[in-house]
Amino acid sequence: MKKATIADVAKHANVSKSTVSQYLNKRYEYMGEETRKKIAEAIQELHYRPNFMARSLKQQSTFTIGVIVANIIHSFSTKIINGLEAEFDKKGFHMIICNSADEPSKEKKHIETLLERQVDGFVIFPTGKNEALYRTLTMQNIPIVFIDRFIEKLEIPSVLLDNMKAMEMAVSSFNVHPLAVVTTSLDLQITPRVERLEGFRLALQKRNMEVLEEYIRHGETKELPQIFDELFSLATPPKGMIATNDRVSQELMLYVKKHQIRVPDDLQIVVIDEMPYTEFMTPPLTTIEQPSDLMAKQAAALLFEKIEMGTFKEMKNLYRFEPIFLKRDSTLL
């Protein structure tokens, strides 16, 4: 039971291949009523399905987008993937998902193989360490949109959270001090992490509060307990803490529980990224949510702009989204 081709259908219906092709492309004007029926029947009988690869080869378009996430398992990636899927589906596009695991070499490999697969565009959570490659892509006019992270001096639009504002919101929701902020590894200088720490410093300065670097910490996930230990061993332990992403927030919850730290009495907490548990923790966590669906929509819209019109409408590289403040009980103000 081999796969039927357009030629088989043509033979079966006693017409020519091009007539069948017309039919498939719904150009019914160019054929008789009965011809149409015969073709329809033949397609049914042979279980014929057009070969998308062949069409793509001819039409130089694959209707597929390559998506490279830094880590599928992270909550924000998942939300974005979910949002992108919905948008792509509307346009009849499919997506190939790859995982860079925040390793530049993997990212490079994936970009290259996706290129070989002739994807029509990319959505990438960039590692940031493949600048030459990003530049080549732009020069070859390949549609590409970054998400979550921004790479300077590149004409590639980035869709990201207004991290400064998020930290301003966070800081303004505490009525205690000193405040600490913790994020995950800074090895790759990943935009949201860098910006959130910087936003923290700025928010303090704005309030004429001293910026003490020992309260501004970062490290691999497994180092976080140690970091918390150090923080709470300071002469003046933090009274408020900001967890800048889901990883940190989870580790912090674990730590708080283990050490029976009372929230908000001993420690007030603000976390970035809405998670299922933030609402039913004791106490529920004051959270700053990223509007992931809007962000995915924006990314998809930008990408299609470039794919369909060959260029971005606006000469704008930065699309910042408003964080959503969810006041709950881990802060008091």
The contact set with DNA (CB under 7 A) reads 3, 5-7, 14-19, 21-22, 24-25, 29-32, 35, 49-51, 54-55, 57-60
189 binds, among DNA, a copy of itself, none (CB under 5 to 8 A by kind): none
Q: For residue 216, give the amino acid letter.
A: I
Residues that bind a copy of itself (CB under 8 A): 1, 3, 47, 49-54, 56-57, 62, 64, 72-73, 78-79, 81-82, 85-86, 89, 94-99, 112-118, 136, 139-141, 246, 250, 253-254, 256-257, 275-277, 279-282, 284
CB proximity list for 70: less than 8 A, separation 6 or greater = 77, 99, 100, 101, 102, 125, 127, 148, 190
268 binds, among DNA, a copy of itself, none (CB under 5 to 8 A by kind): none
Helix ranges (DSSP H) in 140-190: 163-172
The residue among 1 and 235 lying less far from a copy of itself, judged by its C-beta, is 1
Burial class (CB within 10 angstroms; exposed 0-12, middle 13-18, buried 19+) of 312: middle
> Rounded to the nearest whole angstrom, what is the least distance from the CB of residue 254 to a copy of itself in the complex?
5
Whether residue 264 is preceded by a cis peptide bond, meaning omega within 30 degrees of 0, is yes
79 binds, among a copy of itself, DNA, none (CB under 5 to 8 A by kind): a copy of itself
7 binds, among DNA, a copy of itself, none (CB under 5 to 8 A by kind): DNA
Q: For residue 142, give the amino acid letter.
A: I
175 binds, among a copy of itself, DNA, none (CB under 5 to 8 A by kind): none
* DSSP labels, 293-308: HHHHHHHHHHHHHHHH
> 245 and 184 in contact (C-beta within 8 Å)?
yes
> Rounded to the nearest whole angstrom, what is the least distance from the CB of residue 207 to a copy of itself in the complex?
31
> Rounded to the nearest whole angstrom, what is the least distance from the CB of residue 261 to a copy of itself in the complex?
12
Give, for 318, the enclosing helix (H) or strand (E).
strand 318-321
